[in-house]
């Protein structure tokens, strides 16, 4: 948890909200062993935010939140708590602030530190407890608990310019194809391991020596970021995907890898990432958005590695069969494939005044085009 907080403070430049209160001894004793927590401002597509009031606690309106388990990441805790407290699935998590609460009794002082997220839910609210009252609102209600009003204000700064460009159908496909994804994970991925290894080795060769930070911006259920952590043990490695269900399907984990769930259309980084990997995602992005997204990724990285499969129509019969399998069996939604010339042209238009290297990797799944983009020295 502390690892994640440090990452969000350093790279997102999150504000720190501090709160102090004198409490009774019984309260101090009850919280002594619990120090890290999450708070989630769950919002809908109209910008309404969910508040909960627990009449058993009698402390006012608050956001869903709770403590992070010993072997749990804050992102995983946020998804768990949203479902446990409100019966809602959330599609993305954007960190909005760090929260520090100091509780004092006599000479005892205990600091609880946590992360507040904003998260979108498209689910229908289903209250399941008569002791809880739920409201969706665009204003902060009176009698809000602790720092919830300040957290709400931080969320508004994010939501005011929020637009919803997520491929929701992609998320639903992963959620709805459980058994097909298990088949793909257990059998097909094993058969195509030689392709995965070939692509991974190419990425390793492209990465400049001794990176301090590596971000796989759309990691899906690939273990590449975990394997990169093994190759670069001193680097901060982050795997991100808009679909948390995909991250949960990653076979291997490494406690030093941070897995995040923010929307890559929003890149509020205050500090550059050494290496950003953007693999197998370009053909899922609308043509009208591809250029801007690549440009934004290049701005926040010292090195951007883009890799995507060549348009199957211009590739081998075997590549067409693989594409048919992904589209018809796994319901893959990506269809904005590029030819080689269009790929080169897109990168060059997106990344002017950059050092660009192009290449291809031939696999049984087809030709993978790649580009390594660096700042000019």
Pick the range with the lowest mean pLDDT from 14-18, 122-126, 202-206, 364-368: 122-126
Verify that 231 and 305 share a domain, yes or no.
yes
Verify that 25 and 100 share a domain, yes or no.
yes
From 120, 140, 159, the end of a domain falls on 159
Alpha-helix residue ranges (DSSP H) falling in the chain: 2-12, 25-31, 74-86, 148-159, 168-176, 178-183, 189-191, 193-206, 224-231, 244-248, 287-299, 317-324, 340-350
Task: Record the pTM.
Answer: 0.89
Residues 6+ apart with CB under 8 A from 239: 215, 216, 219, 225, 226, 247, 250, 257, 258, 259, 260
Q: Which has the closest alpha carbon to 203: 135, 297, 300, 280?
A: 280
pLDDT of 181 over the 70 cut: no
Q: How far apart are CA 40 and CA 90, in angstroms?
A: 10
pLDDT of 166 over the 60 cut: no
**Greater pLDDT, 132 or 127:** 132
Verify that 269 and 297 share a domain, yes or no.
yes
From 105, 126, 159, the end of a domain falls on 159
Verify that 29 and 145 share a domain, yes or no.
yes
- Quick check: 16 and 9 in contact, CB under 8 A? yes
Verify that 180 and 328 share a domain, yes or no.
yes
Local structure of 123: helix, strand or coil: coil
Residues 6+ apart with CB under 8 A from 2: 36
Q: Which domain holds residue 20?
A: 2-159
Average pLDDT value for residue range 258-282: 92
Q: How far apart are CA 274 and CA 265, in angstroms?
A: 19
Verify that 147 and 176 share a domain, yes or no.
no
Enumerate the β-bridge partners of residue 119. 42, 93
Local structure of 259: helix, strand or coil: strand
21 alpha-carbon distance from chain centroid: 33
Number of domains in the chain: 2
Which CATH number goes with the domain that contains 128?
Answer: 3.90.79.10
Verify that 123 and 180 share a domain, yes or no.
no
Verify that 319 and 187 share a domain, yes or no.
yes
Q: Average pLDDT, whole number, for the chain?
A: 87
Q: Sorting pLDDT into bands at 50, 70 and 90, what band is 177?
A: low
Verify that 185 and 215 share a domain, yes or no.
yes
Verify that 191 and 83 share a domain, yes or no.
no
- Quick check: 170 and 284 in contact, CB under 8 A? yes
Q: Could you give the dihedral angle defined by the CA atoms of residues 178, 182, 184 and 190, in that order, rounded to the nearest 10 degrees?
A: 160
Verify that 36 and 179 share a domain, yes or no.
no
Q: How far apart are CA 141 and CA 161, in angstroms?
A: 22
Residue 189, token pair as written in the block: 């991925």
From 102, 127, 159, the end of a domain falls on 159
Average pLDDT value for residue range 73-101: 92
Residue 79, token pair as written in the block: 């998804």
DSSP labels for 273-295? EEEEEEES-GGGS-HHHHHHHHH
Instruction: At 211, give phi and psi (nearest 5°).
Output: -70, 145
- Quick check: 255 and 4 in contact, CB under 8 A? no
pLDDT > 90: percent of the chain: 50
Verify that 116 and 259 share a domain, yes or no.
no
């Amino acid at each position: 948890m502390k690892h994640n907080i440090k990452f969000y403070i350093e790279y997102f430049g999150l504000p720190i909200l501090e709160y102090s209160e004198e409490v009774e001894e019984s309260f101090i004793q009850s919280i002594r062993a619990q120090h890290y927590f999450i708070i989630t401002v769950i919002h809908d597509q109209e910008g309404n935010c969910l508040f909960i009031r627990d009449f058993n606690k009698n402390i006012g309106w608050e956001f869903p939140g709770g403590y992070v388990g010993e072997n749990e990441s804050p992102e995983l805790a946020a998804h768990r708590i949203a479902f446990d407290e409100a019966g809602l699935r959330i599609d993305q998590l954007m960190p909005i602030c760090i929260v520090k609460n100091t509780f004092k009794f006599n000479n005892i002082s205990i600091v609880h530190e946590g992360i507040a997220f904003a998260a979108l839910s498209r689910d229908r609210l289903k209250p399941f407890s008569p002791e809880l009252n739920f409201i969706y609102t665009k204003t902060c209600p009176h009698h809000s608990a602790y720092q919830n009003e300040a957290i709400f204000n931080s969320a508004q700064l994010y939501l005011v310019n929020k637009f919803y460009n997520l491929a929701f159908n992609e998320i639903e496909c992963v959620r709805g194809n459980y058994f097909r994804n298990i088949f793909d994970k257990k059998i097909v991925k094993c058969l195509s391991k030689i392709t995965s290894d070939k692509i991974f080795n190419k990425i390793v060769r492209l990465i400049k020596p001794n990176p301090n930070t590596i971000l796989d911006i759309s990691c899906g259920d690939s273990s590449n970021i975990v394997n990169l952590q093994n190759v670069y043990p001193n680097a901060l490695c982050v795997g991100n995907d808009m679909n948390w269900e995909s991250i949960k399907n990653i076979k291997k984990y490494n406690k030093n890898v941070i897995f995040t769930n923010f929307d890559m259309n929003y890149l509020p980084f205050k500090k550059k990432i050494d290496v950003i990997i953007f693999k197998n995602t370009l053909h899922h992005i609308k043509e009208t958005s591809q250029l801007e997204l690549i440009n934004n990724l290049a701005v926040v990285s010292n090195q951007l590695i883009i890799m995507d499969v060549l348009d199957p129509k211009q590739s081998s019969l075997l590549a067409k069969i693989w594409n048919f399998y992904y589209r018809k069996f796994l319901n893959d939604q990506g269809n904005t494939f590029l030819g080689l010339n269009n790929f080169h042209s897109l990168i060059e238009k997106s990344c002017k005044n950059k050092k660009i290297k192009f290449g291809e990797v031939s696999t049984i799944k087809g030709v993978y085009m790649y580009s390594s983009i660096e700042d000019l020295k």
